[in-house]
Structure 1
Amino acid sequence: MSDDRHPLFVALVLVGGLIFGFGLGFSHMARPEVVLNFLQFEDFGLLFVMFGGAVVSGLTFFLAPRLLDRAPLTGDGFERRLKSFDRNVLIGGAIFGVGWGLSGICPGAAYASLGTGNLTILWALAGMFLGAYIQGYWRSRAADAAPAPSRAD
């Protein structure tokens, strides 16, 4: 990340988050019962919401690097960041999916759900924070146990 960020970077990120949260609330994606109905193939309204988001994201990722030489807020160059598909990605995705299915909400929508007055979502948020803490602890222990790479001169 670049140190020469746009002076309005934080303010624009907050405004973007507010717009995103409003969109989640407006589309009812912040209501676990609506999401669970979608996951049980009873209500396909969220399919249109997700399709709309995928279209906007796809167009942005396709057009922005062609129209702009650098990211407007950070000044960083546009580049692909490929990640390998390994055991950690598979396990993390499975845990995320099970948590999403049990709570009926993903992390971003959970925060928006708080804004709509859903205080019982605090249990799901507590589970998310606990899971993130356990994962961080486990990864740091694994990193400490791994042998330090030797440097051949």
Structure 2
Amino acid sequence: MDNNKNILHKDTKCSAEHPHTQPWYGNLKYLVLGILFGIVFVKAEIISWFRIQEMFRLQSFHMYGVIGSAVITGMTSVFIIKKFNIKTLSGEKISIAPKTFNRGQIYGGLIFGFGWAVTGACPGPLFAQIGTGALAVIVTLLSAVFGTWVYGYFREKLPH
């Protein structure tokens, strides 16, 4: 049972014999990449509360197109990683654990979707929304952090 729980909570991992240590400025590339990703979010209007409301009201295809292209890109990427045994830039093997369905995914998806519809934000665009000056989204960020803490606290008691 414990082995199964590890598989459920550790979906993807990279294994290296010697962990790499780097100076703090080695992470600046991730900051730059994050900023560029945020700019793309803003330009594509996927952080727009109005675009998200259009999606939930079935009034526009815009967000469905974005989400659909992300799913196709992810599926293609995983297929290529598995087919060609792609490794990380530092040569680590990428292993993707098989997924198992449980009813908690339904409950979590419903709670996530409800929160997304009410707030107009999901975890990805939160920081981009704050970066555009939508400071009210800080409440959503704090709620997401609190929700994550609550999940961690009650995880063992939730349906499997």
Question: What are the superposed Cα offsets for residues 89-146 of structure 1, whole Å, 9 maximum, x if unpaired?
Answer: 2222221111111112111111111111111111211221121111112236x49xxx
Structure 1: gaps (5+ residues)? 144-153
The normalised TM-score by structure 2 is: 0.72
Deviations along 1:2-51, one digit per CA (max 9) or x if unpaired, are 35349597344333322322221111111112111111111221222223
Q: Is the 8 A contact 2:80 2:86 kept in 1?
A: no
Q: 1 CA distance for matches of 2:81 and 2:101?
A: 26
Give the corresponding residue for 1:81.
97
Q: 2:128 pairs with 96, 99, 112, which one?
A: 112
Question: 2: CA distance between counterparts of 1:129 and 1:39?
Answer: 24
Q: Percentage identity across aligned positions?
A: 23
Which consecutive aligned stretches of 4+ in structure 1 deviate over 6 angstroms post-superposition?
Answer: none
RMSD of the TM alignment (CA)? 2.7
Which of these residues, 109, 118, 123, is aligned with residue 102 of structure 1? 118
Retained in 1: the 8 A contact 2:86–2:93? yes
Q: Larger Rg: 1 or 2?
A: 1
Aligned letter for 2:62? G
- Using the alignment, how far apart are the partners of 2:54 and 2:86 within structure 1? 43
* 2:62 aligned with 1:45: yes
Tell me the equivalent position of 1:30.
Answer: 47
**Partner of 1:16 in structure 2?**
33
> What is the CA–CA distance in structure 1 between the aligned matches of 2:37 and 2:21, rounded to whole Å?
21
- The aligned length equals 141
> How many angstroms apart in 2 are the aligned matches of 1:126 and 1:111?
12
